[in-house]
Structure 1
Amino acid sequence: MLFFSELHENSAAETITAKTVEELIKIPHFSNLDEFYLDEIPDTFEIETFFEYIKKNKKTKFWFEFSDKIFVDYQLRLDRIVQEIVFSENHGYKPPWILYKGVSHRKELHELFFLHH
């Protein structure tokens, strides 16, 4: 099964809430998706919770592009996740593509994303 989700700037802020991650991982077939893409993600998205889910999911390719309007403290949270992905020696999951303004280690993240997919 292939799933491709795209939210555009006008709807993402209204659609993604603090409960979005919790609701997504409750969907029975969610773990069987081949691909999952979100665009213009606001800082209400619970990225740490979703990253823990990603590390348990061996099947799905995740693509995340965050809004340019996210706050600096949220960017720092994303930085910690990107660093964990880049500096981890073993990936038991498919490293996600994470794009946001000011992303560090973009080249390394890009290489890992395509190496594992």
Structure 2
Amino acid sequence: MNELISKLHKCDASFLELKNVEIPSELFLTKNVKLCNFRNVSVLSKNGIKMPLEKIVENLPSICGFKFSFDSNSLNVSSKTVKELIKIPHFSEISYFSLINISENFDIQTLFNFLKRNSSPKFHLKYQNNRLSNKYKNELEKIVDEILETKSLKYDPPFISFPLQNEFKLAAFRKLFEK
């Protein structure tokens, strides 16, 4: 695999899809990737620790579309992930940003406040973990309710889905997101 990754590092790929691999950060991808889909991918620092999500995004300066599916014990997201993401200069230039199987360490309220002030990126957030606390689920519900109750949105609403979500709200939310 390292041989393949080293070839990618030297090429000029604009689309990258990786699944179920660990790659060392020194071989970390071409700077010209525009579309990226990582499923259960770990980018490891020199000391073998998983790079946080914000560092991965920071190292993809040309990215337009980004999808990241976390494994069940993801260490890529912390309480400061969103604060660090919104500091990245090219973050607001990303058109589509999808995160699948997010933990509740992800600061959804900070992200939502950012999205209300910025037209990009369009977010798709899917929580698959049934271990979300009731407090976090309530926070997600409040955001969904606020979006659905707003008559005229001045921003692209994020699409948010999570376990045990009200089916009618999810359907209304999906319709709103697809506009």
TM-score (norm 2): 0.61
Counterpart of 2:143 in 1: which secondary structure?
helix
CA shift, 1:8, in A, is: 2.1
- Residue of structure 1 in register with 2:103 after alignment: 42
- Residue of structure 1 in register with 2:92 after alignment: 31
- Contact in 2 for aligned 1:34/1:60 (Cα 8 Å): yes
Is 1:78–2:133 an aligned residue pair? Answer: no
1:18-64 CA deviation, whole Å, 9 max, x = no partner? Answer: 01001100000100101001111101111111000111121321000
Q: Greater CA deviation, 33-42 or 57-66?
A: 57-66
Structure with larger Rg: 2
Counterpart of 2:69 in 1: which secondary structure?
coil
User: More strand by proportion, 1 or 2?
Assistant: 2
What CA distance in whole angstroms lies between the structure 2 residues aligned with 1:114 and 1:20? 26
CA shift, 1:67, in A, is: 3.3
- Contact in 2 for aligned 1:9/1:67 (Cα 8 Å): no
Alignment RMSD, CA only? 1.3
Structure 1: 5+ residue runs without aligned partners? none
Is 1:16–2:77 an aligned residue pair? Answer: yes
Answer 1 or 2: higher relative contact order, Cα 8 Å, separation at least 6: 1
- Residue of structure 2 in register with 1:95 after alignment: 157
What CA distance in whole angstroms lies between the structure 1 residues aligned with 2:109 and 2:70? 22
What CA distance in whole angstroms lies between the structure 1 residues aligned with 2:66 and 2:98? 6
Structure 2: 5+ residue runs without aligned partners? 1-62
